[in-house]
Amino acid sequence: MDTVAVLLVSPIDEDVRKLESIFSHSNWKLFRVAHQDEAVRFLSQNPTPVVITDCGCGEPLSRTITKLAELCSPPPRVIVASRLADDPLWVQVLDCGGYNVLQKPFDPHEVYWVVSHAWRDWKAESALGSPSSRPAQAKMAAAAPTR
C-alpha cells in the first residue's frame, strides 16, 4: 500500500494535532510548515501530492493556490481548510484551481474522504502524465447554465 504524503500549511498548532490524530490511524504521512514561503521551499524539494492550506495563511487564496500548484508536476491537489466552508468559498477555491474545501474543526470522515480522493486524482494524473478530470470541477461545469 502506498504512503500518502500530505503537506499542511498552517500556523495553527491545533490543526496539526487534529490531523496527526486522524492520520495516526492510516498510512498517511503529515508534513507541516507554518507559512506559504516555507511551503514553496518544501514543495520545490519534496513533490507532495496533497496540500492542505489554511484559508487565513496571508496571501490571497488565488495566489496561494496558483503558487503551490505550479511547483510540482503533476501539481499537488490543494485543499483549503476554513471554519467557514460555505458555497462561495468552495466556488472560489475551484475557480482558482484548488481541489476542495475542508471545514474546521476537522471531521475524521470528511478528512479521509477528501484527502483520499485528492490523492487518487493526483495518482491517476501522474500515471497518465496528463491532467485528469477533477470531480468537483466537472460537477460545477455540468451545472453551469449554457447560452
85-137 pLDDT, tens digit each: 788 888 888 888 889 999 999 999 999 999 999 999 999 998 887 544 444 44
Whole-structure pTM value:
0.82
**Which residue segment(s) compose the domain that 14 sits in?**
4-143
2-18 pLDDT, tens digit each: 788 999 999 999 999 99
CATH number of the domain that residue 130 is part of: 3.40.50.2300
The DSSP code sequence of the chain is: -PPEEEEEE-S-HHHHHHHHHHHTTSSEEEEEESSHHHHHHHHHHS--SEEEEETTSSS-HHHHHHHHHTTSSSPPEEEEEES---HHHHHHHHHTT--EEEESSPPHHHHHHHHHHHHHHHHHHHHHTSPPPPHHHHHHHHHSPP-
Q: Domain tally for the chain?
A: 1
